[in-house]
Structure 1
Amino acid sequence: MVINAEQQRASLNQTGLEMLNLCTSQLEKATEALKNHDSDLAEEVMNGETRVNALDLKIERDCEKFLALYNPVAIDLRFIMAIRKINLDLERMGDIAYEISNYVVDEDKKIPASLFKALSFDKMYETLTSMLEDITVAYEENDVKISRKVFKKGKALNKINAKAFDILEAEIKKDNEIIKQALLLFVVVKKLERVGGLIKNIAEEIIFYIDAEVLKHKKKK
C-alpha cells in the first residue's frame, strides 16, 4: 500500500498527539506519587519510560522518512520542523516525570503535607495542568489563540516558584528535621518550573507551524 504525503503527515501528527498524552499522563502520575509517597505508582511511571522512548524514536524516524521521501516546503516543512522540536520537549518532560518518580522510590520518608501547603504546591500544579490542557487542545485543533494562553499562565507559575526558596528556608528554621524533604521538594518545584518552560516551547512551535511566526528570542514585554 502506497502512503502519500498527506497520509504520512496525518500519521505523524497522531503519533505526536499520542506522545503528548503519554507524557502528560506520566507527569500526572509522578506528581500524584510524590504527594502520596506512592512507590508503586512511581514504579509504574518509571516502567512507562520505555514507551516514551519508543515513541520518541518512532517520531524521529518518521520525520526523517518524510523529509527524504517528500522534500517538503512551506507549511509541510514547518510542520516537520515543529513536530521534531515538540517531540524533543515532550521527551524531556517524560524524563522529568521519571526523575520525580525515582525520588519517590529512593526516599523512605514522605514529604510532610505542611510543606506542600506552604509552597502553594496544589495551585502551582493546577496551573501547570491547565497549561497542559491548553496545549493539547491547541495541538489537536491547530489553534494559535489557545497556544498563546499558556504564556500568561507560565508567568503566574514562575511567580509562585520564585518564592519557593524563601518559603522552604522558613519552614526549615521551624523544624530542621525536614531539611532533606524540603530540599527534595525544592528540586521537584524547579523541575516542574522547567516543564512550564517546555510547554511554552511547544506553544511557540505550534504558532510557528501555523502562522510562520517565530517567537523565540523575541524581546519580552
Structure 2
Amino acid sequence: MTQLENEIQNLKEELIDLWLLVNLQLEKAQQSLFSMDNDLAREIIANEKRVNSYELKLDRDCENVFALFNPVAMDLRFVLAVLKINSNLERTGDIAAGIAKFVKEIDEDFDKNLLEVSNVKEMFEVSIFMMSNVLEAFEKEDTKLARKIFKQDETLDKIKKKANGVIAKYCKEQPDNIEQALYLLSIIQKLERVGDHAKNMAEETIFYIEAKVLKHKSNKKK
C-alpha cells in the first residue's frame, strides 16, 4: 500500500466513524423526543462537540492530502467527496442537537394524538433509514444502493407536505396547544433536511465512484 493509499484509507475510516456517531445522535434524538428524556437530550447536545471536532479534523486531513500528495482521478474525487460528505454530516449532527434542545425546552409530554397524526415517527424512521443506507452505499461503493436514496427522499418530502396540513388543522382545533404544534413542525422541517443531506451524500458517493455529477440534474427536475 502506497502512502497515498494509506491516507485515503485513513480518511475513509475517519469519515465512517463520524457517520456512525451522527447516525447514533439522530437515533437518540428520536428516543429523547418520544420519551421526553431530558438526560438523553443533554447527552446529545454534549456530543455535538465531538461531531464538530471530527469535522474539523477531517477537513484538515483532506487539506493535508491535497498539499502533500496532489491526488488525481478517483483519489481526487474521493477526497472531494469526503469534504462534502463531512460538511453534510456536521449539519445533520446540528439537526439532532437542535431536536434535543427542543426536548429540553418543552415543559410537558407531547400530545400523543399530535405525534400520531403528524407522522413524525415515520419521518424519523425514514430519515434514519436513509442515513444508514447511504453509509452502507459509501462503505461498499454501491451506487445502485446510493440511487435508492433519491426515492426515499421523495417519500420524506411527501410525509412532510402532508404533515404541514395536518398540523395547521390541529392548531385550529387545539388553539391552546399551538406551541407544541409549532415545535413539532420545526422538528419535521429538520427531518426533511436530514433527507436532503442524505441525498447530497448519495450524490457525492456516486460522483467519486462513477465520475458522474448528479446535483444539477436533480435540481432541474424540481
Residue matched to 2:190: 191
RMSD value, Cα: 1.4
Offset of 1:112 from its aligned partner? 1.1
Q: Using the alignment, how far apart are the partners of 2:101 and 2:128 within structure 1?
A: 21
Q: Using the alignment, how far apart are the partners of 1:213 and 1:86 within structure 2?
A: 16
Larger deviation: 113-122 or 11-20? 113-122
TM-score (norm 2): 0.96
Residue matched to 2:102: 103
Residue matched to 1:7: 6
Counting only pairs closer than 5 Å after superposition, residues 127-166 of structure 1 correspond to structure 2 as: 127-166=126-165
Matched AA of 1:57: L
Answer yes or no: is 1:82 the counterpart of 2:81: yes
The number of aligned residues is 220
Q: Does the residue aligned with 2:71 lie in a helix, a strand or coil?
A: coil
Unaligned residue ranges in structure 2 (runs of 5+)? none
Q: Using the alignment, how far apart are the partners of 1:81 and 1:38 within structure 2?
A: 38
Offset of 1:7 from its aligned partner? 0.6
> Deviations 1:94-139 (Å, cap 9, x if unpaired)?
0111111111112212211111100122222222122112111101
Residue matched to 1:48: 47
Q: Using the alignment, how far apart are the partners of 2:168 and 2:144 within structure 1?
A: 39
Q: Using the alignment, how far apart are the partners of 2:125 and 2:28 within structure 1?
A: 14
Q: Using the alignment, how far apart are the partners of 1:13 and 1:215 within structure 2?
A: 22
Residue 143 of structure 2 contacts residue 209 of structure 2 at CA under 8 Å; is this kept in 1?
yes
Residue matched to 1:71: 70
Q: Does the residue aligned with 1:217 lie in a helix, a strand or coil?
A: helix
Offset of 1:10 from its aligned partner? 0.2
> Deviations 1:25-73 (Å, cap 9, x if unpaired)?
1111112111211110000000101110110011001001100110011
Residue matched to 2:221: 220
Unaligned residue ranges in structure 1 (runs of 5+)? none
Q: Does the residue aligned with 1:163 lie in a helix, a strand or coil?
A: helix
Q: Using the alignment, how far apart are the partners of 2:80 and 2:207 within structure 1?
A: 9
Residue matched to 2:24: 25
TM-score (norm 1): 0.96
Residue matched to 2:202: 203
Offset of 1:173 from its aligned partner? 2.2
Matched AA of 1:220: K
Q: Using the alignment, how far apart are the partners of 2:90 and 2:79 within structure 1?
A: 16
Q: Using the alignment, how far apart are the partners of 2:90 and 2:99 within structure 1?
A: 14
> Deviations 1:150-195 (Å, cap 9, x if unpaired)?
1001101100101122101211222212100000000010000001
* Percent identity between the two aligned chains: 43
Q: Using the alignment, how far apart are the partners of 2:128 and 2:97 within structure 1?
A: 17
Q: Does the residue aligned with 1:32 lie in a helix, a strand or coil?
A: helix
Residue 74 of structure 2 contacts residue 208 of structure 2 at CA under 8 Å; is this kept in 1?
yes
Q: Using the alignment, how far apart are the partners of 1:32 and 1:178 within structure 2?
A: 22
